[in-house]
Structure formats: C-alpha cells, structure tokens
Amino acid sequence: MVTYDKEKVKRTFETEIFPVLIEKIKEPLKNMKNNGYVDIEEIRLRADRPVMIYIKNKGYFLNSNGAITDKPGIVLSKSELEKIFLIMCDYSFYSMEEDIKQGFITIKGGHRIGLAGRVVQDNGKIKTLKNIYFINIRIAKEVKNCALNVVKEIFSKEISHTLIVSPPGCGKTTILRDMIRLLSNGVEDINLVGKKVAVVDERSEIASCYQGIPQRDVGIRTDVLDSCPKVEGISLLLRSMSPEIIAVDEIGSIKDAEAIFDAVNAGVKVIATAHGRDLDEILKRPGIKILIENNCFETVIFLSNKHGPGTIENILKIN
C-alpha cells in the first residue's frame, strides 16, 4: 500500500502550493483541522463555482473557515481565477504556451496543473487554450520504496517486461516512478545492479519535470523525454540513449504496441502501465491484447485502492 511522509507533504504545501494561490483559498487550507491539507490529492478551481478538494478520491467543498463539507463554500470569480493562473505561469503566459496547448502546465515541485477552457484551433490542430476558467491542481507526492516488493517480484537473473494495471487513482504512476528509481539506482540486497533507464514522460507525471529538470527522484542512471508522445519517444530513445529499460505510462493503442515491439526486439526491457481493473478488461484494448498474446509482457501486476492506493491485487506471470 502506498503511504507518504506527511511532514514532507506539509513542507511541499508551504513552499510549492500555497505560493501559487490567493489568500481567499490559501488561508482556509492552512486552517484545515490538524493540517488536513496534507491528505489532499486534488484542488479543483472553477470560475463562479465552489472550490472543491479531493481526498482519497472523494470530493468535498472548502469553506472559508477551513472546514470541508458536502455543502458549497468558497466561490472564485473569473478575475480571481485569472490571477491564480498568472501566478502559476510565473507571470509569463507565453513561456508556458507549448504546455498550455497540451492541457496542463507543471509548476515547481512537479505538481501538474490541469487546464480547460476555450480551445483555439489552427488547421484542425489545437493552437492554445484561452479563457482558462477550469483548473485542477494535482498534488505530487513522492513515496520512496513503495515499489520494492514489486521490483523483487520482477527481478531474478534479469528484469522481466512488466505491465502495471489499475483503475485511475490507485497509485500505478507512483509505483512506476519508484520502480524506475530502484531499477536505476540498483537494489543491493537482491544483487540488482543499477540499469540505464529511459522514460517517455508524455504528460509530465512520472518525473514531473519543471523547466526540463525532474522534480521527482527517478534515479541516477535515468534519462527523461518530457512532454513527448510515447511512440515517437520510444523510437528516439532506442536511437540515441542505448537504454536497458524503457518506461512509459498509460499504453493501449496499436501504435503503442508497435513501438513496444520495436523496443522488445531491440533487447530493451519495457515497464509500462495501463488503465483497467482485470485481465478481461485490458484485453479489450487492441494494443495491449496484441502485446500480451505475443508474450511481450512477462509479468502483469494488478493494483486497486482496496487498502489505499497501491494495493496489489494480483500478479500474473505470462509464459
């Protein structure tokens, strides 16, 4: 089960989250009973709508006194939301434009800010977002050694090609991140020598890069392609970085499968994640079905939220 250092998360809020908020939200969060803000997973801000926070996948409204209830509390105006977004962009909207058109930005500390508003298109492609009045602050929480048992499971004489499967919010990206760190650094008590790991971080969720620098610890032998599509990223890494392991998040398409085939055939181990609850569900996705039927994955690990994020439900070995 994934757990985290609450004192470290408290410092994270003080130094990375509170500075990008206005007093109208900041003070109520600080006033939450017993520093309850450390358990927050998401802060949802919508223009002219109540502020919501999510704890253990359950949504609550935030009141001005710091209480969380089922009844609407603080409401932000459009101008207040614009001010928050400007702070998040470090007062330079244009410096973030490439990220904005992808629907998110990453702030210091690796926290991903999801964005929605009016889409501006150019020749059928998204050029940028305007009128950004919907913001989702996802709190990045690093959990070291949460994947130690998983790494022990997939390593004997060598690393096995591994797929981590779970529904959203069950800790698969957190587990993947720690697997990358452990595989990169090595694990002395199982005689695992550190490997060259390459990460295709399409949504900046694994390494959580800020201005190109990983904000999460992904290990000393790890190279990261940030904000890069998986298919192109896998191809690029095979050509340029001679990785021993490639890690990617949320696969499923036929094109994903083709790229992973290329990596496997090049002798590179692949660690990946996918959305799903069980084997039957993920086999409905053509790309994953092809990979599993062709033994491109040797181990499939199923996670749930039964005893908190990162609960291991089942480990399937594929011959």
DSSP the chain: -----HHHHHHHIIIIIGGGS-HHHHHHHHTSGGGGGGG--EEEEEBTSB-EEEETTEEEEEPTTS-EESS---BB-HHHHHHHHHHHTTT-GGGGHHHHTTTEEEETTTEEEEEEEEEEEETTEEEEEEEEEEEEEEPP---TTTTHHHHHHHBSSSBPPEEEEE-TTSSHHHHHHHHHHHHHHEEGGGTEE---EEEEETTS-SS-EETTEESS---TTEEEEET--HHHHHHHHHHHT--SEEEESS--SHHHHHHHHHHHHTT-EEEEEEE-SSHHHHTTSHHHHHHHHTT--SEEEEEESBTBTTEEEEEEE--
pLDDT of 241: 96
Check residue 236 and give its pLDDT.
96
With cut-offs at 50, 70 and 90, classify the pLDDT of residue 2. low
Is it the case that residue 27 has pLDDT exceeding 70? yes
Q: Given a cut of 70, is residue 154 above it in pLDDT? A: yes
Q: Is CATH 3.30.930.10 correct for 148-317?
A: no
Q: In the predicted model, is pLDDT for residue 1 greater than 70?
A: no
pLDDT score recorded for residue 3: 65
What is the pLDDT averaged over residues 38-45?
A: 95
Residue with tokens 């480990």: 315
**151 has a pLDDT exceeding 90:** yes
What is each CA distance from 107 to 88, 99, 161, in whole angstroms?
A: 7, 11, 32
Mean pLDDT of the chain: 91
Report whether pLDDT(54) > 90: yes
CATH fold, domain 6-138, is Beta-Lactamase (3.30.450)
Give the model confidence (pLDDT) of 75-121 as tens digits.
Answer: 999 999 999 999 999 888 777 887 888 888 888 888 989 999 998 88
Domain ranges of the chain: 6-138, 148-317
* pLDDT-above-90 percentage for the chain: 66
pLDDT in tens, 213-243: 898 899 999 999 998 999 999 999 999 999 9
pLDDT of residue 276: 92
